[in-house]
């Protein structure tokens, strides 16, 4: 039996959390971001900064901020400057200011109690912690839209104007706010908007050629030499461009195509591997969205996915989904949530483009809610959720 040789050199270089050393076609924006925060390396106690990074999905917003965070932290260490960069995905914390602040404080004090304080008290405590640490922190709030939607003007205003209440004291906290569109700020009042819109970096969608450059830059560190022919790169670039110039989609597609090549024991990624990967990929929900779901959302979605796999139906009822959810909860040794909470989860799934729901007319048995997965493979969704849940169970 012949030995199997993977096409991958290091597949982790294609992971959503990997931050490359270079950011093709974002070099100018990275330089601008460093200029905005140059004071942090020279006189960090003298001022604070607020910058907004805006752009569609897959335009490199998160990678830009994290690359900057890594670079400026290294430079600060070299110069002996006390500086921290903290990156928080607001949607992962349900857009709750309380949970976001709780997490940020735990970065400095891991054993900080999770109960007993209000969001306002946590704001004061955060500054107190930074004073004690004698450090300037750049807080990057990714998916800032979630915070705006959940908390509104008052909370955002308090957070971003926190430093102005400390006249003649060291400036401890700067912000990078990352969101898809500045139009989201229309939900805020004028005074709050004015605190956020002074320094804006807009990221445009990538072109086909730019996507090809991004993929070509990633391939040497992720794949073995000659494992990805040029025609394969061009095909992936074309598909990513058709997904609104989404570089993240292209990188995930490249990884998935590599898996198909390995499964068939090929020495290179053929265009057919890409086509198979494209037909199987989850188009409506990305890998970075599933981990942001809370435990019971994952469990409910797993139950729905399993029902579709087992029944081969096009539509299942909410009653069937609830029964399946109870079975999954028993499997994971947790108590199921209420019908009202599950209905809220369904609404959130619809917003994310995962499920669709339809309420049938009132008959002798009353109204009936149907659930469908119109654009997602149930088998693929089940595998992704099972992997996430298994990883979470190992951590606890």
For CA atoms 366, 367, 372, 378, the dihedral sign is negative
For the segment 205-233, the average pLDDT, to the nearest whole number, is 96
Strand partners, 356: 372
Q: What is the pLDDT of residue 392?
A: 81
Q: What is the pLDDT of residue 323?
A: 95
More confident residue, 122 or 396: 122
Q: What is the pLDDT of residue 258?
A: 97
pLDDT per residue over 235-292, tens digit each?
Answer: 899 889 988 899 999 999 999 999 999 998 999 999 888 877 887 775 545 567 788 8
Mean pLDDT estimate for the chain: 89
pLDDT per residue over 53-106, tens digit each?
Answer: 999 999 999 999 999 999 999 999 999 999 999 999 999 999 999 999 999 999
Strands (E), 155-273: 173-179, 200-203
- pLDDT of 363 over the 50 cut: no
Q: What is the pLDDT of residue 287?
A: 62
Residue 143, CA distances (Å) to 94, 177, 187, 240, 385 in order: 10, 8, 15, 22, 22
What whole-number distance in Å separates Cα of residue 249 and Cα of residue 236? 9
pLDDT per residue over 314-343, tens digit each?
Answer: 678 999 999 999 999 999 999 999 999 999
What does DSSP say about strands 369-372 and 356-359: parallel, antiparallel, or unpaired? Answer: antiparallel
For the segment 133-154, the average pLDDT, to the nearest whole number, is 93
Q: How confident is the model at residue 1 (pLDDT cuts 50, 70, 90)?
A: very low
Q: Give the distance, in angstroms, between the CA of residue 305 and the centroid of all CA atoms in the same chain.
A: 22
- pLDDT of 178 over the 90 cut: yes
Are 127 and 101 in contact by the 8 Å Cβ rule? The answer is: no
Instruction: Please choose, from the candidates 166, 160, 103, 108, the residue with its C-alpha nearest in 3D space to the C-alpha of residue 133.
Output: 108
What percent of the chain has a predicted confidence (pLDDT) above 70? 93
What whole-number distance in Å separates Cα of residue 9 and Cα of residue 235? 21
Domains and CATH numbers, the chain: 27-203 (3.40.50.300), 206-280 (1.10.8.60), 290-395 (1.10.10.10)
CB atoms within 10 A of CB 105: 19
Tokens of 72: 């400026």
Q: What is the 3-state secondary structure (H, E, C) of 93-158?
A: HCCCHHHHHHHHHHHHCCCCCCCCCCHHHHHHHHHHHHHHHCCEEEEEEECHHHHHHHHHHHHHHH
Tokens of 291: 């981990």
For the segment 353-367, the average pLDDT, to the nearest whole number, is 66
What whole-number distance in Å separates Cα of residue 396 and Cα of residue 394? 6
């Amino acid at each position: 039996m012949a030995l199997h040789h993977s096409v991958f050199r290091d597949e982790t270089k294609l992971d959503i959390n990997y931050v490359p050393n270079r950011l093709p076609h974002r070099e100018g924006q990275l330089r601008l971001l460093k200029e905005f925060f140059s004071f942090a390396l020279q006189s960090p106690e003298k001022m604070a900064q607020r910058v907004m990074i805006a752009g569609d999905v897959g335009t490199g917003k998160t990678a830009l901020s994290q690359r900057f965070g890594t670079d400026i932290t290294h430079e600060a260490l070299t110069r002996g400057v006390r500086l921290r960069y903290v990156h928080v995905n607001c949607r992962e914390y349900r857009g709750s200011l309380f949970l976001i602040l709780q997490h940020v404080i735990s970065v400095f004090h891991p054993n900080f109690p999770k109960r007993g304080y209000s969001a306002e008290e946590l704001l004061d405590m955060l500054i107190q912690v930074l004073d004690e640490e004698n450090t300037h922190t750049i807080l990057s709030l990714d998916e800032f839209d979630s915070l705006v939607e959940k908390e509104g003007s008052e909370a955002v205003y308090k957070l971003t104007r926190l430093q102005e209440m400390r006249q003649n004291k060291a400036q401890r906290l700067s912000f990078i706010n990352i969101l898809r569109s500045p139009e989201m700020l229309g939900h805020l009042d004028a005074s709050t908007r004015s605190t956020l819109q002074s320094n804006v970096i807009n990221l445009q969608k990538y072109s086909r050629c730019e996507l090809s450059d991004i993929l070509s830059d990633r391939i040497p560190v992720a794949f073995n030499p000659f494992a990805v022919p040029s025609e394969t790169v061009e095909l992936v670039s074309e598909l990513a461009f058709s997904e609104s110039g989404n570089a993240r989609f292209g990188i995930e597609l490249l990884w998935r195509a590599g898996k198909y090549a390995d499964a068939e024991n090929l020495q290179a990624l053929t265009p057919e591997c890409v086509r198979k990967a494209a037909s199987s990929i989850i188009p409506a929900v990305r890998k970075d969205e599933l981990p942001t779901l809370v435990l019971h959302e994952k469990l409910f979605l797993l139950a729905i996915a399993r029902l579709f796999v087992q029944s081969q139906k096009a539509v299942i009822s909410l009653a069937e989904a609830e029964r399946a959810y109870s079975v999954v909860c028993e499997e994971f040794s947790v108590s199921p949530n209420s019908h009202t909470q599950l209905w809220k989860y369904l609404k959130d799934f619809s917003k994310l483009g995962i499920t669709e729901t339809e309420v049938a007319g009132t008959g002798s048995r009353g109204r009936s809610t149907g659930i469908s997965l119109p654009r997602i493979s149930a088998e693929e969704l089940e595998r992704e959720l099972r992997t996430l849940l298994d990883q979470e169970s190992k951590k606890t």
